Amino acid sequence: MKMDITKLKDEEIDQLISFLERRNITSFVKRNGETLLLICRSTSIRPARLELGIENI
Tell whether 17 is covered by a domain. Answer: yes
Q: Domain total for the chain?
A: 1
Tell me, what DSSP letter sits at residue 44?
-
Res 43 pLDDT > 70 = no
For the chain, the three-class secondary structure string (H helix, E strand, C coil) is: CEEECCCCCHHHHHHHHHHHHHCCCCEEEEEECCEEEEEECCCCCHHHHHHHCCCCC
**What's the first-to-final CA gap in the chain, in angstroms?**
12
Overall pTM > 0.95: no
Q: What is the mean pLDDT of the chain?
A: 83
Tell whether 57 is covered by a domain. Answer: no
Range of the domain at 48: 2-52
Q: Binning pLDDT at 50, 70 and 90, where does residue 57 land?
A: low
